[in-house]
Structure 1
Amino acid sequence: MKLQEGQIWEALMFAAAKKVDNVIATIDYNGRQIDGDTDDVLSLGNLHAKLEAFGWTVLEEKNGNDLEAVIGILEKAKTETGKDKPVAIILHTEMGFGVDYMMGSHSWHGKAPNDEQLDTAFKQLYLEAPADY
């Protein structure tokens, strides 16, 4: 998870300290990383409170896999820019959303599905496989 890396926190602090108010950061907060659930590996705790403490305006979208909800929260975030603070949106997502064998599993963070699994994923997402697949 990128939010466990120092340079990310340095950038968050810098943007707030310099009042960079034309930035909207989106955070894909799915609770998973390559080694397991983030709460089991290295919990971020209350991310919303941490970002606010750094000086960010923080919005959250509980339905981060819903494109219309994401567009809505982005529109809301735009109204918060220009107020001497950067804006962060925490998008609560489910990794592998819509593909039953991927949802709820951290194991898909760093590997690709085989051909059979890929066919299943296309079907579950109501997509056609590309012609060159």
Structure 2
Amino acid sequence: MTVVRQMLTTAMATIALGTALTVTGGATASATAQACPGSPNHAANGEGYGIVNGTHSLRTGPSVDCSATNNLPSGTKVWLWCYVVNSSQNTWYWVREENQANSGWMYAGNMTIHEYDDNGNGRFEKRHC
């Protein structure tokens, strides 16, 4: 009976450890997915544009911890699609480089933002992602 009890105790501990590892691994993957979500859901172009101040990279998510993709030189015009405020309370925009297919996230502080009434309704409307 003691051998059976030891086997059951070992099996239960293995299951508990496996469950804990799965939960922890899932939480880490989920946190990473939230931090660097890639392209947001957006149905239409936003309003406004930005002019890049200095050389800055587009990123895969709204954080400096996300991978850099394309470097944009100072003076590059980017079209604003939508914005988010990240966990550090910084505003990031999903942008597209003018006359290019390059899109990604850019920190609002890395560009001068210009309000532009793209749809002609008389007001500048920022879209949240």
- Fold shared per TM-score above 0.5: no
TM-score by length of 2: 0.25
Of structures 1 and 2, the larger Rg is shown by 2
Quick check: which one's helix share is greater? 1
Quick check: which one's strand share is greater? 2
TM-score by length of 1: 0.25
Query: RCO greater where, 1 or 2, for CA within 8 Å and sep 6 or more?
Result: 1
